[in-house]
Amino acid sequence: MAECGASGSGSSGDSLDKSITLPPDEIFRNLENAKRFAIDIGGSLTKLAYYSTVQHKVAKVRSFDYSGKDTEQDHEPPYEISVQEEVTARLHFVKFENTYIEACLDFIKDHLVNTETKVIQATGGGAYKFKDLIEEKLQLKVDKEDVMTCLIKGCNFVLKNIPHEAFVYQKDSDPEFRFQTNHPNIFPYLLVNIGSGVSIVKVETEDRFEWIGGSSIGGGTFWGLGALLTKTKKFDELLQLASRGQHTNVDMLVQDIYGGAHETLGLSGNLIASSFGKSATADQEFSKEDMAKSLLHMISNDIGQLACLYARLHCLDRVYFGGFFIRGHPVTMRTITYSINFFSKGEVQALFLRHEGYLGAIGAFLKGAEQDNPNQYSWGENYAGSSGLMSSSPELCPTQRARSGTFDLLEMDRLERPLVNLPLLLDPSSYVPDTVDLTDDALARKYWLTCFEEALDGVVKRAVASQPGSVDAAERAEKFRQKYWNKLQTLRHQPFAYGTLTVRSLLDTREHCLNEFNFPDPYSKVKQKDNGVALKCFQRVVSALDALDWEERQLALVKGLLAGNVFDWGAKAVSDVLESDPQFGFEEAKKKLQERPWLVDSYGKWLQRLKGPPHKCALIFADNSGVDVILGVFPFVRELLSRGTEVILACNSGPALNDVTYNESLIVAERIAAMDPVIHSALREERLLLVQTGSSSPCLDLSRLDKGLAVLVRERGADLVVIEGMGRAVHTNYHAALCCESLKLAVIKNSWLAERLGGQLFSVIFKYEVPAE
């Protein structure tokens, strides 16, 4: 937990260093490039937001000028790779106790090089109290923003940009957090903000919201009455007392009055009939723990009923709870969830937010940055720089649990282009990208976490080898190892730390950590070599295909796609073969494939469809570089083009493992076009279009794709989607329902997964689906 420490004035560096568990420069990261600030100061906690530019290395590919040269020389790579510096935008959010605000401001002042603005946006009650201190320390004018406007802006932002932001709390589940997939349209919703009091706001659009009610009985009431009852002055200590208490020692239950349930009214015997009801008649002392628990129940029940009544009055079924009364505390969430469920008869759901503590700071930042229009961009959570949601069970990880259920650090990276849903999803609101939820599946979770731990040495080795000229590559790779290892250990204890835990999130976290230590594309040289080798085989492969009769050719094309998909450096079973046998090639991969009938085999149905009219336009999501894209995908594309089908070939925007990137695909297509008239004319006539997905992941989230791709899919009337590869078609999208025909195909290159699916290593998935009429 990154907790800022040290109260009082004086030199910041020393006082901070003595009292925090992370070095200050790992908390206030990239301060030297900070451009704009915002701050949200509550009764006990400060949330600081700042925007910075981050310089990091990217691997760029560029086609050689081949004029007057023999392009087929064996030693000739198909393109050159250069590593360049690129500047991207990042949002940083840091939370710390108000006690340490002066030390933290001192540290920021000492390390701040330059800001574009002379103003800091401030919100929260403490914005008034600490105004002079902030202006004196940072030499920035404090511009106070409306608290509720900031909260709403912050809430809209996290709901739009963080897929697993909202969760329901289920007390008897393990783990207790159940994350919700964000609805593509987040409006309308009810926001119940529980600070000192309670504010209830109906949010209808990005800019339209209405305060519809509230209560003076809120977090401040719990704190104040709790302090009077228990003599405990600290809010968190009160919550800790409550977690150990037994409210039935203090509260009067229905059964205490009626001897059991009240059948006529349908009230169970263990319902609270009167909060603190026993204290009036019992001649005994009550423990601090029991009183704190009773008080927490009383206030949570009251808020839950109030929220439920307003939700029903305004016909809203999504109710989000925020504010620091929640704190991810299980008793609070459980009571509010129970109360909402009880009074709404299950029609309204209580939803909590992973980043509820940051809403005000995010909103204040967005208010101050309106001229840059940050909402026109999509943003993604950077797992390498963000803390995780803490466990609500004290015994799970006590050292990390000074406060439950809150973030200490959150970082969001600005993405190059806006991300939107694939228009071909049957029902975007029910689409779930991931096939297996590792948060739920303990056996699978244990296997995959161990799998990623065991693969770590190989990733470190590959990262160092990718930068032979760098003197500090080994040192940076070791830092990467430590960081990713720590993330994996956090996820063992707290699988819900970053939302639903999946194979995709484990892969993405690894990519984020590699980028953090300037390993932008560890497989760039491998891909360059593999692409060069495969290009030399292209003409031979298509000539052999063209010599086959039509029906034989269709099966050969599919087998080529599958054989190409074997070449996945992310799969240990394959990388071991590729490293030990440099001669392992396309024909050898075909021999590895399972014989038909395959594990999932819709090939007969696909063949029948091909005997019908051609598809209008096929959208193909490619997987790996080299043999996969060049000898598997492009011959398949060529056949579709020959049938009169237009093709949109979508590749990753950024690198991940040995997956082909958009920029690499442009060069590969250019080289293939020089050899093949079908591809050449299709590119020239724009019947073959190469686009980027907006993703840098080995998996595929069809709800977060490049807007340009979505526009093209609509314009061209795509009626076939082809998804290839284990990451894109098995770990994700295996159950994805589309409103057009789809082909999902992959070779299972993990023996544990193959066994779980009822197959063996190199079993084949060939899933052709037609939507129901």
- Condensed to tens digits (0 to 9), the pLDDT of residues 481-493 reads 999 999 999 999 9
In CATH, what number does 166-250+286-353 get?
3.30.420.40
Largest CA distance in the chain: 102
Contacts of 588 (CB under 8 A, 6+ apart): 581
Nearest-angstrom CA–CA distance, 13 and 408:
19
Which residue intervals of the chain bear CATH 1.20.1700.10?
A: 431-517
Reported as type and span, the H/E element at residue 167 is strand 166-169
Token pair, residue 328, equals: 């991810």
The phi-psi region of residue 733 (left if phi > 0; otherwise alpha if psi is between -120 and 50; otherwise beta) is left
Reported as type and span, the H/E element at residue 649 is strand 646-651
Which residue intervals of the chain bear CATH 3.30.420.40?
A: 166-250+286-353
Nearest-angstrom CA–CA distance, 748 and 341:
43
Nearest to 631 by CA among 707, 543, 538, 556: 538
Give me the phi and psi of 553, to 5 degrees please.
-65, -35
- Mapped onto helix, strand or coil, the DSSP state of residue 205 is coil
The β-bridge relationship of strands 688-692 and 419-420 is unpaired
Could you list the mean pLDDT of each consecutive 10-residue stretch along the chain, which spans 773 residues?
A: 33 44 71 86 85 85 62 67 87 86 84 74 89 90 92 94 92 83 88 91 95 94 95 88 93 93 88 92 91 94 94 94 80 87 88 90 89 82 86 38 50 91 96 95 96 96 93 97 96 92 97 94 93 96 97 98 91 81 88 96 98 98 96 98 98 96 97 97 98 97 97 98 97 97 97 95 97 84
Topology classification of domain 523-769: Rossmann fold (3.40.50)
Token pair, residue 654, equals: 């950024």
- Mapped onto helix, strand or coil, the DSSP state of residue 129 is helix
Predicted pLDDT at 344: 87
Class of domain 431-517: mainly alpha
Reported as type and span, the H/E element at residue 712 is helix 707-716
Predicted pLDDT at 12: 41
- Mapped onto helix, strand or coil, the DSSP state of residue 238 is helix
Reported as type and span, the H/E element at residue 87 is strand 79-97
Helices marked H in 254-397 = 254-258, 288-313, 330-344, 359-368
Class of domain 25-62+78-159+360-415: alpha beta
The phi-psi region of residue 657 (left if phi > 0; otherwise alpha if psi is between -120 and 50; otherwise beta) is left
Predicted pLDDT at 463: 95
Predicted pLDDT at 5: 31
Nearest-angstrom CA–CA distance, 422 and 705:
7
Nearest to 764 by CA among 738, 726, 731: 726
Predicted pLDDT at 764: 97
Nearest to 414 by CA among 92, 85, 68, 733: 92
Q: How many CB atoms lie within 10 A of CB 717?
A: 11
Which residue intervals of the chain bear CATH 3.40.50.10880?
A: 523-769
Predicted pLDDT at 402: 38
pTM equals 0.90
Predicted pLDDT at 405: 32
Reported as type and span, the H/E element at residue 444 is helix 442-454
Nearest-angstrom CA–CA distance, 634 and 396:
51
pLDDT tens digits along 301-334: 999 999 999 999 999 989 999 887 887 777 788 8
Predicted pLDDT at 395: 35
Nearest to 721 by CA among 642, 664, 645: 645
Nearest-angstrom CA–CA distance, 354 and 581:
47
Helices marked H in 170-313 = 219-230, 235-244, 254-258, 288-313
Lateral strand order in the sheet of 177-179: 177-179, 166-169, 349-353, 318-322, 189-194, 198-203, 209-215
State the Rg of the chain over Cα: 29
Residues 205/207/213/219 CA torsion (nearest 10 deg): 100
Contacts of 713 (CB under 8 A, 6+ apart): 422, 423, 424, 617, 619, 648
